[in-house]
Amino acid sequence: MCIRYFKQITLLGILLVFLSLMTAFAANIVIVNADGAGEGFNDPTIATPIGGNTGTTLGAQRLEVFRYAAQIWGAYLDSEVVIEVEAQFDPLSCNSSSAVLGSAGATTVHRNFINAPLSDTWYPQALANALAGSDLQPTVPDLGATFNSSIDNNNTCLLGTSWYLGLDGDNGGDIDLADVVIHEIGHGLGFASYVDELTGKRFFSMIDIYSANLEDHSESLTWDLMTDAQRHTSAIDTGDLHFIGGNVDAAVGHAPMYAPNSVEQGSSVSHWSTSFTPNQLMEPFITNPPIHDPGLAFELMLDIGWLADIGNNLPAVNISSPINGDTFVAGSAVNLNASASDIEDGNLSDSINWNSNLVGSLGAGNSLVVVFNTVGEHTISANVSDADSGSATAEVLIEITPAVSVIPNEPTDVTAIMGETWPQVSWTSKSQEASFSIWRDSPHKKRAGMFVGGTEIGTVEAVTSFNDITGDAGTFRYCVRANNSAGSSDWICSTTTVVVASDSTGGGGNTGGGGGNFCEAHPNHKRC
């Protein structure tokens, strides 16, 4: 039985279901289920839980194996960007003795992105994202994977051999799916050359970071420095094709790669040599017993630019409502909304704890409605903890004002004078005002006592004066009204007008003696 892994570079598809892992790991690798209803990951065939796989349908068990495989890589590597593996099970070629198990690879490769360690060098998307610290292609999953569903569904496929769906490696005579998925995800994370081994040509004439670490030992040359012909020759230079990145070298010295003397596309170059003892996960042929550990491939990942898991990352929490500085009247319902996430633990929004420094605990969850009765300035905090006791808190300040049921009294003594620099308006407050609005208008040129051109020019809180800093020239009258949550008082206007000369942004001006029995062109009923 000859079973090969295939790599592929381009694989695009449609996101159907997005599954988020909730357990602890450092890079969050999620499986995007690309299968249709009733097939692949959605196959409803009843299945008995096996080997630690708790799924009760064939589809659920397949998905659980993928999630398990994703977590294994996630525990080794570090990335602040979620890694998406778009995966599906489809019937692939298979006969009684040979089958394609599955194929997987990076969906896109990137070069010359921000923080790229080497210029003009391809990096697979998941690695490029991790290095850049952001998703360079957010609409496209980072890895694509297609696995052969016929192995489960067709007894003539591999003479009745099926996928083993347990997680314990106790596969008997079946093919350990976890081993294969971990292997394939390894390719998608960067254990792959993008050089065409048949021609030695680089992918769009640029070397990839994996191939840049390949050496032909007999030539003492690395692949980035070779001609196409030299690379092709090296790809079939059995025993002399080595991976020489510093971490791999420190572990085993120059590591031999799979380089049979005629190119096996999809296998040559992008695997370890079969000479390793014990066997390595990233050898080209599946071995027994199954391997669920990256082994030396972890050192290789460090050599191409991945960072190792650095321990616990702290969660992040963000309050979207209320907004800092919001004011509410006592007794009103306030929406509390926040989101929280954690690299290791995923979405933590449901475990956010809310507090007010004045009234204590407000409850838990990502969305609450709380009625505030305690007047004063509340510091509202949203706190979340991750599985490793890391925590984060976000805060906003809100003010709860006394409830009022009557509109405020009109201000009195509204006075407008020309100050040193600006017209100054002042008044006397009465009671229960939350704010004051200021209106400005001008005497009608022909109709004595009528005011025109009015406009509201400002609102103030907690003070009883206002400077008209617009710099506008003219003859102005100013009016003030008081506001609270119940409504607004009438406008009360100054009995004098202020003259602002056209050049008087800096002082001067006169106080005009308007006075008299104006036809009250109140701003709130502007007619005479």
- Considering just the CA atoms, what is the radius of gyration of the chain in Å? 36
Residue 218 C-beta: closest distance to Zn ion, Å: 9
Distance of CA 60 to the CA centre of its chain: 27
Site for Zn ion in 329-388 (CB under 5 A): none
The footprint of Zn ion on this chain (CB under 5 A) covers a number of residues equal to 5
Cα–Cα dist 378/76, whole Å:
43
Q: Which stretch binds Zn ion (CB under 5 A): 1-9, 159-167, 170-178, 225-233?
A: 1-9
Q: Is 5 in the site for Zn ion (CB under 5 A)?
A: yes
- Separation between Cα atoms, residue 514 and residue 499, nearest integer Å: 10
CB 381, CB 337: distance < 8 Å: no
What is the smallest separation between the CB atom of 244 and Zn ion, expressed in angstroms? 6
| Residue 331 structure tokens | 């007794």
With CB under 5 A as the contact rule, which of the stretches 119-127, 247-255, 332-340, 458-466 interacts with Zn ion? 247-255
Instruction: Give the whole-angstrom CA distance, residue 210 versus residue 154.
Output: 37
Q: Is 4 in the site for Zn ion (CB under 5 A)?
A: no
Is 219 or 399 the residue whose CB approaches Zn ion more closely? 219
How many CB atoms within 10 Å of residue 130? Answer: 25
Q: Which is nearer to Zn ion, 274 or 467 (CB)?
A: 274
444 sits near Zn ion (criterion: CB under 5 A)? no
Task: Kindly tell me which of 189 and 416 has the beta carbon lying closer to Zn ion.
Answer: 189
CB of 176 to Zn ion, least distance (A): 14
Residues 199-218 that bind Zn ion (CB under 5 A): 215, 217
Task: Measure the CA–CA gap between 64 and 471, rounded to whole angstroms.
Answer: 70
Residue 191 is classified by DSSP as: -
**HEC per residue, 25-46:** CCCCEEEEECCCCCCHHHCCCE
111 lies in the site for Zn ion, by CB under 5 A: no
Longest alpha-carbon distance in the chain: 109
Distance of closest approach, residue 201 Cβ to Zn ion, in angstroms: 21
Q: Binding segment for Zn ion among 5-13, 17-25, 66-74, 142-150 (CB under 5 A)? A: 5-13
- Least distance from Zn ion to the Cβ atom of residue 250, Å: 14
- Rounded to the nearest whole angstrom, what is the least distance from the CB of residue 104 to Zn ion in the complex? 8
At 287 the three-state DSSP class reads coil
Q: How far apart are CA 43 and CA 59, in angstroms?
A: 4
Interaction between residue 254 and Zn ion (CB under 5 A): yes
- Is residue 242 a contact point for Zn ion (CB under 5 A)? yes
To Zn ion, the closest distance from the beta carbon of 272 in angstroms equals 9
User: What is the nearest approach in angstroms of Zn ion to the Cβ of residue 285?
Assistant: 9
Contact range with Zn ion by CB under 5 A, out of 46-54, 234-242, 428-436, 480-488: 234-242
Q: How far is CA 452 from CA 449, 468, 494, 522, in A?
A: 10, 18, 15, 10
The residue (of 119 and 262) whose beta carbon lies closer to Zn ion is 262
CA distance 41 to 60: 6
Task: Give the binding site for Zn ion (CB under 5 A).
Answer: 5, 215, 217, 242, 254
